Amino acid sequence: MPLVQITMLSGRTVEQKRKLAQRITDVMVEEARAQREAVVVTFQEVSKESYASGGVLIADKK
């Protein structure tokens, strides 16, 4: 069972996540020969206050 975990800032719509899940699953089926029903995609959403890049919180970046 392939498990693809996506960590991203919160704010995407359900439709955006739906499309991402479909396209990621398609790639796993096409490129990794995974069974479509076995592909699991999870979305871990974090706030700008809980995510840092380069030692700086995203909330503090302009």
CATH number of the structural domain spanning residue 17: 3.30.429.10
Q: What is the CA radius of gyration of the chain?
A: 15
pLDDT by 10s per residue, the chain, length 62:
899 999 999 999 999 999 999 999 999 999 999 999 999 999 999 999 999 999 999 999 98
Which of the residues are catalytic? 2
The pTM for the full model equals: 0.86
60 in a structural domain: no
Longest dimension (CA), the chain: 42
39 in a structural domain: yes
45 in a structural domain: yes
Percent of the chain at pLDDT exceeding 70: 100
58 in a structural domain: no
30 in a structural domain: yes
62 in a structural domain: no
| Domains identified in the chain, total number | 1
Which range of residues forms the domain containing residue 9?
A: 3-52
25 in a structural domain: yes
